[in-house]
A and B are shown apart, each in its own frame.
Chain A
């Protein structure tokens, strides 16, 4: 828990120090500010724009929707979809549903942590991969499953999961060499 009464413990220090272009929010806010109860769709659209929810964005949303910043922060931290830190380019959602668990999702997680050299919920230093999890992706007949940026992969073995990651690394490397932005 962070106490806000001293500057050194200020809540703001827990957020990445990011400058973002707040004008990108204008259209979203114009669409929704007349609709009561629209905080969640606004936060979702904001996250689509910025990839996560910077503190300045949440503050602006609070101002425009006439809500207390604490209320916005409460909603942003309640729902698991919202990220307060930037994610990697490829977000791996490893399914931890019952069917996946029974079919060995923990072994897949161990293998991926070994391969990426990060722990669960962390992002690789090169900013390429975040190892996240989902409670259930609803593809139980393909257990164990992982989803990367909307694309589902399954049934997985530890080897197959690592191969998917290696293929993406290769793909990214060739794009950089070809002069394309990574």
Chain B
């Protein structure tokens, strides 16, 4: 029997360490032939902490596990030969609806193996692809397999991977580099973090295969500093891979040598852009450089460099082991394979899901994600982070495919999918993203540096009820100029959230500007919390929850909010018992 506990960052934040502690303690007092293993995140984040009991080829998954529950689980399985039914969330024969519909290639091992033990990876067939390639495949054969797979960069640009590798292969250089972009900066995206925490070896193996393909001898993983667990597990994995001969000099007895090191980011979203990343690796401020020359020709220290995203590399060993054709079976005509999405926001089942490209947004959000939390109404789904856009309800049938999403005004992006309901203000969302891009702009290009600031100022004015006629037209004009005048994707994409929200939710902007109203009741300057005297029973809960004590009233008498003092925090609205629902927002 084996017992697995999910120990990704979110599992740990939800209490997995305490569950592990209880498990180890309880088992210490028993004589039982049980292996316990820490794994990465399987992606069912909404049920963390997760615990699997595996025996006789059958897996029983427990969710929202507490340390107290562990004793009962062990009692059920070990003493009573049964399961703790009321806490079971899935079994091998009855998988969770979250997992059904997924095709897990990049995520194939996450949540199932111990990321800190290379044997766990090898037992699943890990490093077989590398063993085969190092002995029997030429660089061009490796590239051909990737070409056949149709793999496109999973970081957001969707550029054909084989093409980049071919270019780096063809270009001459003293030394060539493989770089893994693990600077996952899109707010709402955590695919790369989970991959690195759950299966670092697949990324390393993918990098070595890329190194073989282009003729590189050195690899660097540029990982953002906000992912300390990912960095720790990468470093353990590198050490173990070196010990086994998969990294270092003369890999597996061949004359191919390849070393990988980890470089920590220092908190700059713009360093996710490949030339800014290279500048950062060279010890400079992360300012993008003009392309051409592309990194494949002159990248890190002006040498041929191939940069790919974590998820892109994670697919490579599987493609080499199973053949490009097996990957191309999934997906659409121009976008082959699968994509990992991070489902978050107002969704019932939030987490990581890998689906065949071409599945509709509706199937992902409702089939896998379980629809809107609390049964509220779907309003929009935001894809692609700060360079992306918001897609409204009438376009839910859109397949997740690079070209189909671009046609809506959004982009596929790195995979962040934030779901919004009727209580989300779309003007505020545009303001939120501009606030982000403004802070993260490196400052090099005038249009981006000053343009985003002016757009932000306008959006802040609009959300504060000071919008004017002509603001919308000015926003649209600025958006066009910023897109045209920016050197890199950050500036080029910065106007997208504004443009898509204007395209699909123009009426919200107009309500803010012309009527000084926020239809979603979010913008503080435009809302008021009022207690309905007919519904209020004077239970005093709201008065006690008010952080500025601005609600007056005797017990059992209707209460009143003092609007001069009210800071519009919404605590009273949340606190009023549903059976009264006396606090309304206008």
Chain A residues touching B, range: 35 or more
Partner of B418, one of A99, A104, A138, A159: A99
B283 and A38 form a contact (CB under 8 A):
yes
A99 and B187 form a contact (CB under 8 A):
yes
Chain B residues positioned under 8 Å from A152 (CB to CB): 9-10, 12-13
Which chain A residue has the least Cβ–Cβ distance from B428?
A: A101
Which chain A residue has the least Cβ–Cβ distance from B349?
A: A141
Report if A41 contacts B (CB, 8 A): yes
**Residue among A75, A79, A157 with the most chain B CB within 10 A?**
A79
B286 and A143 form a contact (CB under 8 A):
no
Task: Identify the stretch in B64-72, B245-253, B259-267 within 8 Å (CB) of chain A at 4 or more residues.
Answer: B259-267
Report if B186 contacts A (CB, 8 A): yes
Report if B547 contacts A (CB, 8 A): yes
**Residue among B14, B184, B187, B227 with the most chain A CB within 10 A?**
B187
Q: Given A98-B344, A140-B190, check contact A75 B284 (CB 8 Å).
A: yes
A139 and B570 form a contact (CB under 8 A):
no
B544 to chain A, nearest CB (A): 11
Q: Given A102-B418, A114-B547, check contact A141 B10 (CB 8 Å).
A: yes
**Residue among A103, A135, A158 with the most chain B CB within 10 A?**
A135
**Residue among A75, A137, A139, A152 with the most chain B CB within 10 A?**
A139
Report if A145 contacts B (CB, 8 A): yes
Which chain A residue has the least Cβ–Cβ distance from B280?
A: A40
Chain A residues positioned under 8 Å from B345 (CB to CB): 98-99, 102-103, 140, 143
Chain A residues positioned under 8 Å from B385 (CB to CB): 98
Which chain A residue has the least Cβ–Cβ distance from B435?
A: A96
Partner of B285, one of A74, A81, A138, A158: A74
CA–CA, A157 and B573, complex, Å = 13
A142 and B14 form a contact (CB under 8 A):
yes
Chain A residues positioned under 8 Å from B545 (CB to CB): 159
Chain B residues positioned under 8 Å from A154 (CB to CB): 13-14
Chain B residues positioned under 8 Å from A82 (CB to CB): 266-267
Chain A residues positioned under 8 Å from B149 (CB to CB): none
CA–CA, A74 and B268, complex, Å = 13
A40 and B283 form a contact (CB under 8 A):
yes
For the complex, count residues of B whose C-beta is within 8 A of A: 62
B13 and A41 form a contact (CB under 8 A):
no
B525 to chain A, nearest CB (A): 13
Interface residues of B in 431-490 (CB under 8 A from A): 432-433, 436, 439-440, 442
B10 and A142 form a contact (CB under 8 A):
yes
CA–CA, A82 and B267, complex, Å = 8
Chain A residues positioned under 8 Å from B190 (CB to CB): 138-140
Partner of A98, one of B188, B280, B350: B188
Total A-B Cβ pairs within 8 A: 148
A126 to chain B, nearest CB (A): 21
A79 and B268 form a contact (CB under 8 A):
yes
Q: Mark A14-44, 1 if CB is under 8 A from B, else 0.
A: 0000000000000000000000111111011
B422 to chain A, nearest CB (A): 12
B266 and A44 form a contact (CB under 8 A):
yes
Chain B residues positioned under 8 Å from A80 (CB to CB): 266-268
Partner of A153, one of B13, B187, B286: B13
B36 to chain A, nearest CB (A): 23
B65 to chain A, nearest CB (A): 15
**Residue among A38, A138, A139 with the most chain B CB within 10 A?**
A138
B10 and A78 form a contact (CB under 8 A):
no
Q: Given A44-B266, A114-B547, A141-B45, check contact A98 B382 (CB 8 Å).
A: yes
Report if B226 contacts A (CB, 8 A): yes
A143 and B268 form a contact (CB under 8 A):
no
A136 and B188 form a contact (CB under 8 A):
yes
B195 to chain A, nearest CB (A): 11
B227 and A138 form a contact (CB under 8 A):
yes
Report if A175 contacts B (CB, 8 A): no
Report if B48 contacts A (CB, 8 A): yes
A122 to chain B, nearest CB (A): 17
Chain A residues positioned under 8 Å from B285 (CB to CB): 74-75, 78-79
Q: Mark B337-367, 1 if CB is under 8 A from A, else 0.
A: 0000010111000110000000000000000
B12 and A135 form a contact (CB under 8 A):
no
A134 to chain B, nearest CB (A): 6
A37 and B227 form a contact (CB under 8 A):
no
Which chain A residue has the least Cβ–Cβ distance from B194?
A: A138
Report if A9 contacts B (CB, 8 A): no
Chain B residues positioned under 8 Å from A142 (CB to CB): 10, 13-14, 45, 48
Chain A residues positioned under 8 Å from B263 (CB to CB): 40-41
CA–CA, A158 and B545, complex, Å = 10
Partner of B567, one of A74, A79, A110, A141: A110
B269 and A150 form a contact (CB under 8 A):
no
Chain B residues positioned under 8 Å from A98 (CB to CB): 187-188, 344-345, 382, 385, 416, 418, 432-433
Q: Mark B264-307, 1 if CB is under 8 A from A, else 0.
A: 11111100000000001111111000000000000001000000
Chain A residues positioned under 8 Å from B344 (CB to CB): 98-99, 140-141, 143
Which chain A residue has the least Cβ–Cβ distance from B421?
A: A102
Which chain B residue has the least Cβ–Cβ distance from A162?
A: B547
CA–CA, A114 and B567, complex, Å = 11
Q: Mark A102-136, 1 if CB is under 8 A from B, else 0.
A: 11100100110010000000000000000000111
Report if B46 contacts A (CB, 8 A): yes
Chain B residues positioned under 8 Å from A54 (CB to CB): none
B226 and A137 form a contact (CB under 8 A):
yes
Chain A residues positioned under 8 Å from B13 (CB to CB): 139, 142, 145, 151-154
Q: A98-B416, A141-B350, A152-B12 are in contact. List 5 more A-B contacts (CB 8 A).
A: A44-B266, A79-B285, A81-B266, A110-B547, A141-B46
Q: Residues on B close to A: CB < 8 A?
A: 9-10, 12-14, 45-46, 48, 184-190, 193, 225-228, 263-269, 280-286, 301, 342, 344-346, 350-351, 382, 385, 416, 418, 420, 424, 429, 432-433, 436, 439-440, 442, 545, 547-548, 567, 569-571, 574
9 shortest interchain CB distances as A-B pairs: A141-B45, A97-B187, A79-B266, A152-B13, A140-B344, A99-B344, A80-B267, A136-B187, A39-B283
6 contacts between A and B (CB under 8 A): A37-B284, A40-B283, A78-B268, A80-B267, A135-B440, A136-B189
